Structure 1
Amino acid sequence: MISIVVGGQMDKQSIAKQVEQLGQGKVTVSVKSDLDGALAIQTGQAQYYVGACNTGAGGALGLAVGLLGPKLCVSISTPGKVMTEEEIRAQVQEGKRAFGMVVGNVERQLPVLMDAILKANS
């Protein structure tokens, strides 16, 4: 099973439900504070972190970047930039573990992210 933590500042419960649905029975999902979510990645208790906020960076990913470092974290959308499907898949393949996004882009980007995670772990 792939372990995914949902953090960030907005819509955690909704995102967690979507992650579980998109996970095709292959994921476990937990909702945590930003700090606890990043620590779960750092200690190996979870494999991936997903968070959302209005900017896709600060509230969604700030603590994760601080604890895990920028090499493991990426904002897949910010108000001025939305990654393409190919870019998201490349980030997963490159080993990114923490993903932030603008809350308004979750419905469009989360399915791509989850598919990339499932394929990377199959």
Structure 2
Amino acid sequence: MKITVGGQIDKENVAELLKKYFPEGEITIKSDIDAAMDIKLGNADYYFGACNTGGGGALAMAIALIGADKCATLAMPGNVLSEEKIKEEVDKGKIAFGFTPQSAEEIIKTVASFLKIKS
């Protein structure tokens, strides 16, 4: 599984958490546009990004390049989606995930559990 890290902030921490929860994954850190292009071109399977709002800078380029129907904001300040709602997003085929840095571990752990079941 190839995972690219975009977003505006905390990319190193996001990558480390992805390595923890996707030990078999190939994790790369890129600029927003390069990470989103990797998804669009099929060079990566999933995109993870963090920003202070969870959806703005975390997903802006992904939304622009692959479409909002493939992106999900999983956590915003004061609002982290439930495991059930996250599962719904994964089951809908979302492949780009945005969240706040404070929620990164919870979100990545939860998404990982559902992607591993799906694959």
Aligned residue runs from structure 1 range 58-69, under 5 A: 58-69=56-67
Q: Please state whether the residue corresponding to 2:72 is helix, strand or coil.
A: strand
Partner of 1:5: 4
What TM-score results when the alignment is normalised by the length of structure 2?
0.95
Partner of 1:17: 16
Q: Please state whether the residue corresponding to 2:14 is helix, strand or coil.
A: helix
1:38-64 deviation line (CA, Å, top 9, x unaligned): 000000000100000100011100110
1:4-57 deviation line (CA, Å, top 9, x unaligned): 0011011111111110111132x1100011000000000000010000010001
1:10 partner amino acid: I
What TM-score results when the alignment is normalised by the length of structure 1?
0.92
Find the aligned partners of 2:101 and 2:63 in 1 and give their Cα distance: 18
Shift of 1:80: 4.7
Percent identity for Structure 1 against Structure 2:
38
Q: Which runs of 5+ in 2 are unaligned?
A: none
Partner of 2:69: 71
Structure 1 stretches of 4+ with a deviation exceeding 6 A read none
Count of aligned pairs: 119
